[in-house]
Every structure is written in C-alpha cells, then in structure tokens.
C-alpha cells in the first residue's frame, strides 16, 4: 500500500474513532447516528454562513448602485430644470415678426420638462426610500450579526470538543498501562465530564445558530426580491408617465409646426441666405416671377413683411416699402434696390405690383 493511501486510511480510522468517542461510546449505532446528525448540522451551518454572506454582499452592491443612481439623477434633474427655465424665459419674453410659433413651442417644452423632472424626482425618492434604505438597514442590522456570532461560537466549541475527544482518547489508552493510578482515573473521569458538557453546549449552539442563520437567510431572500420588484415597478411607472408627457408634447409641437409651415413666409424662412454677393451673381437668374415677365426683366414689389439684413450684401426691408426687383434666383432669394440701396432679400417678403403711385416709385430711388 502506498504512503498516501496509508495516511488516508489512518486518517479515516482516527475520524471514525473520534466520532465514536464523540458520541460517548464505542461502536454504538445510535451514537454514530447522532454524530452524523451533528456533522450534517455543521455542514448545513457552513452553507448558511456562505449564503448569507453572499446575500449581504449583493444587498450592499444594490445599495451602492441606487445611491450612485440617485446622486447622478439629482444632477440630471438640475440640468433639466435649468433647460426648462431657459425655455420658459424665451417663450415668455421673445417673439419674432413671423409669428409666435417658436415661443409657444418653447413654453410647451418648458411645461413638459417640468413634469418630466417631477416624475424623475419621484422615481429617485422611491429608489432611495423603498429600495436603498430597507436593504441598508438589513446590511448593518443586528439579526445577521447576531446569527454569525452564534455560528462562530459554535465553531469554537466544536474545535474544543475535537480537542477534548483527543484528550479523552489519550487518557483511555493510558488506562491500559500497568502503572495506571487512581489519580489518572480521576483525571479521565474529569476529561469525560468536560467532554459531555462541551458536546451538550455544541449541540445547543448548533441548533440556535442554524435556526438564526436560516431565519436571516429567508429574510434576506424575501426582502431583496421585494426591493428589486419595487425598483422595477417604480422605473416602469416613471417611463409610462414620461411617455404620456412626451406624446402630448409631440402632438403640440407637430401642430404648431404645421401652422408655421402653412404661413406665407415660411418658404422664405427656410431658405439659406447667400454667403457673398459675387457668388450669387453667378447663380441662374430668372426673369419670371409668379408666371409674369416684363420686357426689362425688372418689376416693382411691395414689402409685406419686414426683413433685417444680416450681412453687407443683404437689403433691409420695412413693411410698406417698394423695391425694384432686378434678379430672382432658384434658391428663393432676389436682388433689388430700395431707397438708394441695393442687396439681397427673401423673395417671399414682397409682392409684385402692376400699378404704383408715382410718389411711391420716387421713394424707391
């Protein structure tokens, strides 16, 4: 037989001997069954210890994740609130000559953002009070710590029992020696009495620790599952409410956009102004406007919407002015002269006039 096999065999024999002595007798089947029960209790307690430790770690990670989510979410709420306030200010304080469509949309957007940030704050509150706080209380609470201390005390007593089994076995071997005295017998009886006491304490502690650890494990499982369900429910409610808000806002914005696009000056607003006068002079110039053509290609137009020039090559127009339109390009811009100044302007801002008072014609030049 190999050395490793001999060592293993000796170890098994010693373990069986310890189990027999652990039960208080030699070869008694009932005692051996009792030892098996104690061994099973010990193994189950180890599994409970590992399980509750893993659950505690998982709970702690959930708490950390929620805390980080709340901190980041609070900053997002502040940013969203600032955006809402900026939109509100623009909508309340600004209008343009083409109408108040953008102002109305800005106000609608501001109101929607306020509602969204309110829903987000509600979500953060739920995550903090209904998820993080209960789990944090359990992580740092006393039930788990008390159960773990019981398990640790049981483990220490079990180690004392194992040591005492070895001590009793050693004294029983010396009992067979010729010079065994009554004093040695007294010591053996004292060792056996101590072993019985330790075994009794170990059994009691093992039952208490097992029950406490099992109770904590069950509570961990239930509470963690409940909090995860609460987290999902809160987020689901948040997204449902936000979706309703966004759907309503989208309908409002689409309605305003349709009204804006239907206005007579929308085509002019969508055009891109020329970057330079020389570049525009090379564009194709049409001498037809609304299907009408005159002999010189020029015509008079009345300004229906005011226009503020944004560069030196553009022409500022005021409502009621008359302008000589000299060139029309494919991109919706026209070049002309008004009050002695020439430049480019959106063609949609003027309407052609066939008859104009002489005094108005004089004002053009």
Reported as a single tens digit per residue, the pLDDT across 146-181 is 888 888 888 898 899 889 899 888 888 888 777 777
Residue corresponding to tokens 């708490």: 63
Contact present, 56 and 49 (Cβ < 8 Å)? no
C-alpha dist (Å) from residue 180 to 169, 184, 237, 255, 311: 15, 6, 82, 109, 121
Distant-in-sequence, close-in-space partners of 108: CB < 8 Å, separation ≥ 6: 249, 252, 253, 256
* Residue keyed to tokens 């600004």: 94
Q: What is the reported pLDDT for 14?
A: 42
The answer to whether the predicted template modeling score (pTM) of the entire model surpasses 0.85 is: no
Write out the two tokens for 227.
């909090």
Predicted local distance difference test score (pLDDT) of residue 297: 63
* pLDDT computed for residue 125 by the predictor: 96
Class of 9-262 in CATH: mainly alpha
Q: Where in the chain is the domain with CATH 2.30.30.40?
A: 297-364
The rounded Cα 318 to chain-centroid distance in angstroms is: 54
Task: Select from 112, 167, 165, 132 the least CA-distant residue to 60.
Answer: 132
* Amino acid 364: pLDDT: 53
Domain 297-364 has CATH 2.30.30.40: yes
Contact (Cβ atoms closer than 8 angstroms) between residue 220 and residue 134: no
**Sites in the chain below the pLDDT cut of 70:** 1-34, 95-99, 263-297, 355-365
**Which residues are CB-contacts of 131 (< 8 A; sequence separation ≥ 6)?**
62, 66, 227, 230, 231, 234
Q: Where in the chain is the domain with CATH 1.20.1270.60?
A: 9-262
Instruction: Give the sign of the dihedral formed by CA 260, CA 261, CA 264, CA 267.
Output: positive
Q: What is the pLDDT of residue 45?
A: 87
- Residue 150 has a pLDDT of 87
pLDDT of residue 365: 54
- What pLDDT was estimated at residue 56? 92
Q: What is the pLDDT at residue 258? A: 84
Nearest 5°: the CA angle 315, 319, 322 is 65
Find tokens 């056996």 and name the residue. Answer: 192
The pLDDT value recorded for residue 136 is 94
């Amino acid at each position: 037989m190999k050395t490793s096999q001999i060592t293993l065999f000796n170890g098994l024999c010693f373990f069986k001997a310890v189990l027999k002595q652990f039960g208080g007798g030699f070869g008694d089947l009932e005692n051996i069954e009792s030892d098996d029960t104690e061994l099973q209790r010990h193994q189950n307690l180890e599994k409970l210890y590992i399980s509750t430790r893993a659950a505690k770690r998982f709970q702690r990670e959930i708490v950390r994740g929620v805390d980080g989510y709340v901190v980041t979410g609070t900053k997002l709420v502040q940013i969203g609130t600032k955006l809402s306030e900026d939109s509100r200010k623009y909508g309340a304080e600004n209008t343009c000559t083409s109408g108040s469509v953008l102002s109305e949309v800005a106000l609608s957007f501001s109101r929607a953002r306020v509602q969204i940030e309110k829903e987000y704050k509600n979500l953060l509150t739920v995550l903090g009070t209904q998820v993080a706080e209960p789990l944090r209380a359990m992580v740092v609470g006393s039930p788990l710590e008390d159960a773990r201390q019981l398990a640790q005390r049981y483990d220490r007593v079990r180690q004392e029992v194992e040591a005492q089994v070895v001590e009793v076995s050693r004294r029983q071997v010396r009992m067979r020696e010729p010079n065994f005295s009554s004093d040695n017998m007294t010591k053996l009886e004292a060792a056996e009495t101590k072993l019985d006491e330790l075994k009794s304490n170990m059994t009691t502690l093992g039952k208490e620790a097992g029950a406490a650890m099992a109770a904590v494990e069950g509570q961990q499982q239930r509470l963690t599952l409940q909090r995860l369900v609460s987290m999902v429910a809160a987020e689901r409610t948040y997204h449902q409410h936000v979706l309703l808000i966004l759907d309503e806002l989208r309908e409002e914005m689409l309605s305003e956009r349709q009204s804006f696009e239907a206005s007579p000056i929308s085509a002019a607003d969508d055009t891109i102004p020329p970057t330079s006068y020389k570049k525009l002079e090379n564009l194709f110039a049409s001498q037809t406007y609304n299907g009408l053509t005159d002999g010189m290609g020029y015509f008079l137009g009345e300004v229906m919407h005011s226009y503020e020039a944004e560069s030196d090559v553009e022409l500022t127009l005021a409502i009621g002015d008359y302008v000589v339109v000299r060139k029309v390009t494919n991109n919706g811009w026209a070049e002309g002269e008004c009050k002695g100044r020439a430049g480019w302007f959106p063609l949609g801002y003027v309407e052609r006039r066939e008859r104009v008072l002489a005094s108005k014609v004089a004002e053009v030049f």
